[in-house]
Structure 1
């Protein structure tokens, strides 16, 4: 499925720069040290993508929701910001070169953006499990991209 969500025209403030890098570094360390993939009771993973411009591996901590089919769902919410997060564009460029650190191991996955009925079903599951995402959706005029991570091999 295609990665085709355009940036919106308004949304919440999105943190950037050194503060975000520092915060992400702390969260990645917490995810890896826990070995269970939970931070503050929330299921977390480290998304490893290949930079679309640089070709360098990028690592981003994200929360995830288990899907009914056993895959993992992640949301390109950017806290309700008007733009998609950078990792979304990295997934679009290299959807078959993604790995995740989760539950103490590194797993190769394929990324697929959900559309139509698949997206609608996943959205209901996500807001039931993590209502904060409904709040993020209300802050922006873009439709938050939902991504399914399917284990490779």
Structure 2
């Protein structure tokens, strides 16, 4: 790695610290009965939501707290895994079974996930870039493209299944 690459590469805490912080966040959410840990997005700042998926191998519900913003009725997040190399387990779960639940500060929504592509991805990535100016530098730390995940409300017919 050249001196220039080191100078432009964003700093990330050690992986163990990131995993510990995620664990603390989930614990605070659980212990407070959901009163602590979620927030609505505001001008220039992402919100925090809880996503519940079904494990692709276990069939067990799995919950994770993620950053998000709203795009009309949709909720948008990034499958970044703390900017680590592997895909996050929740994203692998959603690719196997796209139906999920999100808990936002104003309530619960049943959603269906898809990865944004083409023009939709470019537009939503641009919105994320407005929130985090270092987004492209962080994304460059990953060997694969970071999925922009759209969580769209399920239709009434889907909810009744």
The TM-score, its normalising length taken from structure 2, stands at 0.73
What is the aligned partner in structure 2 of residue 81 from structure 1? 84
Q: Judge conservation of contact 1:79–1:136 (CA < 8 Å) in 2.
A: no
Quick one: higher RCO (CA 8 Å, sep 6+), 1 or 2? 1
What is the aligned partner in structure 2 of residue 65 from structure 1? 69
Find out whether 1:50 has 2:54 as its counterpart.
yes
Structure 1 residues 118 and 58, CA, compared in 2 at 3 Å: closer, same or farther? same
Question: How far does residue 123 in structure 1 lie from its aligned partner after superposition?
Answer: 0.5
Match of 2:147 among 132, 145, 148: 145
- In the aligned structure 2, how far is the partner of 1:91 from the partner of 1:16? 26
What is the aligned partner in structure 2 of residue 128 from structure 1? 130
Moved more, 73-82 or 53-62: 73-82
CA displacement, residues 101-137 of structure 1 (integer Å, 9 cap, x when unaligned) = 1124221001011112211111111111233433320
The TM-score, its normalising length taken from structure 1, stands at 0.76
- In the aligned structure 2, how far is the partner of 1:35 from the partner of 1:71? 20
What is the number of equivalent residue pairs in this alignment? 139
Q: Judge conservation of contact 1:48–1:60 (CA < 8 Å) in 2.
A: yes
- In the aligned structure 2, how far is the partner of 1:137 from the partner of 1:18? 18
Structure 1 residues 14 and 92, CA, compared in 2 at 3 Å: closer, same or farther? farther
Q: Judge conservation of contact 2:114–2:150 (CA < 8 Å) in 1.
A: yes
RMSD of aligned C-alpha atoms?
A: 2.8
- Which runs of 5 or more structure 2 residues have no equivalent in the other structure? 1-11, 156-161
- Which runs of 5 or more structure 1 residues have no equivalent in the other structure? 1-11
Find out whether 1:103 has 2:105 as its counterpart.
yes
Could you say which structure has the larger radius of gyration?
2
- In the aligned structure 2, how far is the partner of 1:17 from the partner of 1:36? 18
- In the aligned structure 2, how far is the partner of 1:55 from the partner of 1:124? 35
